[in-house]
Amino acid sequence: MTWIEAPKSSDPVELAHYIEAEMLVSGEEYLSLAEVRDGWTSGQAPSEEELDFAFAEIDRRARHMGTHYPFFTVDNGVGFDKSGSSDLYSFLTLLSLRETPLRLAKDYPRSDPLFDAVVREAVRAALGPRAQALVFGWPPRGGRPSEFPKAVEWLAKRLGVGLRSHEAYSESLDGGVDIIGWAPFPDGQIAFPIVLAQNTIQRAFVKKPRDVVPEDWREWIRVKSDPLVGFAVPFFMRPKDPWWERAGTNVTYLWDRGRLVHELRLIDPTSWPEWPDIRAFVEEEVAGLHGSVAAAKPVDALPRSRKDRVIPPPIAATGC
């Protein structure tokens, strides 16, 4: 099971990913440093010092992402808080794993609308309290017409602006745009921020931001400047990954998993209409992954329940 293999590197980011995935699928609410090391074969486990760096990475994530990040370091181990809105981070993590039931079945119609909802709310949060956002991508939802030129006209009315041209690409499905957000002023006048966002859970995503061409939209609707561009993935991109430079060309907002959770840190996702489906998705995918692990491992290697153990309280995070 390639998604659950222990990392061959002692890189703290990779180790933190592994610890999160292990705890999410196993259901463990606490793992000590020694129990984390049990995931490796004899002689292959990272040193305590290397795991200390991984724990520091988990601390850093907790400080930067806010209350939706469910992991915390405590008493020389890692805890997993399953209460509240922890399923938001779990959902994005599950979308990031390889060879999951979702990816093996290619059941993206089940996952894509839910990820659209997360990105919709991140776009709304980025634009501020007066912002509006909607799903524009294919297949049409929320009253969007199927034919693209009519969908552009429908969008212009929602934005409160006129059409500049009726010649939007008739062969297009969504013009490369999955989510559209805007923040109008109460006076109803022009010149307010508009964001055209593309998102994907596909692993070949480096060139996807280029699907959005702001100049085209400026030709179709009466805006005075090019709309802003956003791009979102559920993957956690390391700080020095070249993706930031390659994908960031002509993109105002880049959201990876860390940034999505940070953007939504003040938002209550349990009020979203899609939240029950997000929670159900997490439960179903975890159950499927746990079943695949059980089939692949001998009984002695399966995670043991530690429900009777008292989990120490989290160490208070400091800094920013």
Q: What's residue 293's pLDDT?
A: 55
Q: What span, in angstroms and rounded, lies between the C-alpha atoms of 6 and 199?
A: 28
Angstrom distance (rounded) from CA 120 to CA 182: 11
What pLDDT score does 292 carry?
A: 66
- Average pLDDT, stretch 164-170? 82
**pLDDT at residue number 3:** 54
Number of CB atoms found within 10 A of residue 96's CB: 20
Q: What is the mean pLDDT of residues 22-42?
A: 89
Q: What size, in residues, is the chain?
A: 320
* CA–CA distances in Å: residue 182 to residues 128, 192, 229: 9, 7, 12
Residue 11 CA to residue 137 CA, distance in Å, equals 37
Q: Where are the beta strands (DSSP E) in the chain?
A: 30-32, 71-74, 77-80, 132-135, 179-182, 194-199, 228-232, 253-255
Give the single-character DSSP code of 208: G
Q: How confident is the model at residue 99 (pLDDT cuts 50, 70, 90)?
A: confident
Share of the chain above pLDDT 90, in %: 68
Provide the total of helices (H) and of strands (E) in the chain, helices listed first.
Answer: 11, 8
pLDDT of residue 302: 34
Do β-strands 253-255 and 228-232 pair in parallel, antiparallel, or remain unpaired? parallel
Average pLDDT of the residues in 6-16: 84
Tell me the per-residue pLDDT of 45-84, one tens digit each, with 9 for 90 and over. Answer: 899 999 999 999 999 999 999 999 999 999 889 999 998 8
Interval 179-193: pLDDT, tens: 999 999 999 898 999
Return the pLDDT at 4: 59
Two tokens at 295?
A: 């089939």
Residue 320 has pLDDT above 90, yes or no: no
List 180's β-bridge partners, or say none.
Answer: 134, 196
- Indicate left, alpha or beta for 84 from its phi (over 0: left) and psi (-120 to 50: alpha): left
